[in-house]
Structure 1
Amino acid sequence: MSGAIEGIEGVRAIVWDFDGVLNRAGRPDKAGIFPWQAKVAEELGIDAAAMAQAVFGRDKAALFTGKDDVLDRIAHWAEGAGVDLDPGDVLEIWFEADHDPDPELDRVLDLLAEAGVVQVILTNNEARRARWIAQDAGWAERVDALFASGETGVMKPAAEAFAAVETALDMAPHEILLIDDTPRNVEAAEKRGWLGWDYQAGGAMALVQALMPLLLKAER
């Protein structure tokens, strides 16, 4: 996406999506296998695709809103498949293999921080990975707050997810910009009065150009 963002001068906070934006989430191969699944299969010698289907292929909302624990789902699959497995080993490999921050957006984060813009992450992620992202991967030190559906109990694009951010930041909708790679999330935010940017992979330069009025304003 390219172009200007109408109203950007009035933005006080930027809300980042994580996977697909700040984090270059891996894409599946022709067989539908994600890189982290291949890594789990390689290191643990299990059918990671079957495991992933059992864990994520049903009622994903329950997992991503904290009703179900991902460790319990992995353990249940392992028991049914007759696999001797420590579910924690799966999470460790998965989280590390699926963490690939975009260096170009990393620099954008720094520019916005220098400009005094509030930055938070709003992500649809289950609770254990959300805590790993915040603590182990260090994102809690890079942004002002991290809102994850696994901890808040609500997923984008539900209005409640955006309302919770507004309340936490004590800001009006028009003062907030969402940068997300899922169009329906951007549309939902814009319906609340937020500004939105539908991020495309590799689109850091276009984003910087769109944010330039905000950065220049901060320098004055």
Structure 2
Amino acid sequence: MSEVIEGLEAVRAVVWDFDGVLNRAGRPDAQGIFPWQALVGRELGIDAAAMGKAVFGRDKAALFTGKDDVMDRLADWAESTGVELAPEDVLELWFETDHDPDPELERIVEMLAQGGIVQAIFTNNETRRARWIAQDAGWAERVDAFFASGETGLMKPNPAAFEAVEKALDMAPFEILFIDDTAANIAAAEKRGWLGWDYEPNGARALVAAMMPLLLRAQG
């Protein structure tokens, strides 16, 4: 990645990934169990690994494009295994535990908003968590648009997902800067003509340096 992103002078919108960028999502352990799943296991006395495999280990596309409901999958797993479980309790622990916004990036979001730069969140998330992030966690109020695969039915890196964002924002590809932590998503965005930044963990300082011309414009 270059020190400064080329082409920022034409950028009118910044599109953010959520988990792994704006949100410091937990990473799985050696057994593939995420911190929120481990907490759910401890709090509710269930097998977190089995639950995770049953709910998320199959046909993720159906779950993350809104075809399947995570609540139904949790209920089906509980019934099939004889576990007494309220799916709502799992979701509450999951959503709240897995919400850890990066304060440095929050400041960048605020700075860009004050400067009139359009901002959007573009995330692969199932429907219920997407709504929680947008509404309960208040992110829909902090950005101009919120695009979640569970709502749109389109997942990154599908080119159609990027095209839908362009149309909704009414902007040309070269007017959009996309910040994501998945290389395939960045590659798909850049193939359409977006500017892209492959975000790395704790990479706020590097991002600030790379987008400084845009931040200065927002302050001016």
Q: TM-score range by the shorter chain?
A: over 0.9
Which structure 2 residues correspond to residues 71-220 of structure 1 after superposition, within 5 A?
71-220=71-220
Letter paired with 2:147: F
**After superposition, what is the alpha-carbon deviation per residue over 1:152-204, rounded to whole angstroms, capped at 9, x for unaligned?**
00100001111111111100000001000000100000000000000001110
- The question of whether the paired residues in 1 share the 8 Å contact of 2:180 and 2:197 is answered with yes
| 3-state SS of 1:185 partner | helix
- The question of whether the paired residues in 2 share the 8 Å contact of 1:22 and 1:102 is answered with yes
Distance 2:128 2:81 in 1: 23
- The question of whether the paired residues in 1 share the 8 Å contact of 2:65 and 2:149 is answered with yes
Task: Please say if 1:28 is aligned against 2:48.
Answer: no
Residue-pair matches, total: 220
Distance 1:136 1:160 in 2: 28
With the length of structure 2 as denominator, give the TM-score of the two structures.
Answer: 0.97
| 3-state SS of 1:14 partner | strand
With the length of structure 1 as denominator, give the TM-score of the two structures.
Answer: 0.97
- The question of whether the paired residues in 1 share the 8 Å contact of 2:65 and 2:154 is answered with yes
| 3-state SS of 1:216 partner | helix
Task: Please say if 1:42 is aligned against 2:42.
Answer: yes
Gaps of 5+ in 1: none
- The question of whether the paired residues in 1 share the 8 Å contact of 2:78 and 2:85 is answered with yes
Which runs of at least 4 in structure 1 moved beyond 6 Å after TM superposition? Answer: none
- The question of whether the paired residues in 1 share the 8 Å contact of 2:24 and 2:101 is answered with yes
| 3-state SS of 1:85 partner | coil
Task: Give the direction of change, closer, same or farther, for the CA distance of 1:36–1:2 in structure 2 (3 Å limit).
Answer: farther
- The question of whether the paired residues in 1 share the 8 Å contact of 2:112 and 2:218 is answered with no
Q: CA deviation at 1:2?
A: 5.4
Alignment correspondent of 1:60: 60
Letter paired with 1:90: V
| 3-state SS of 2:178 partner | strand
Distance 1:159 1:8 in 2: 22
Q: CA deviation at 1:219?
A: 4.0
Distance 2:199 2:114 in 1: 22
Distance 2:195 2:47 in 1: 43
Q: CA deviation at 1:104?
A: 0.8
Q: CA deviation at 1:42?
A: 1.3
- The question of whether the paired residues in 1 share the 8 Å contact of 2:111 and 2:219 is answered with no
Q: CA deviation at 1:214?
A: 1.1
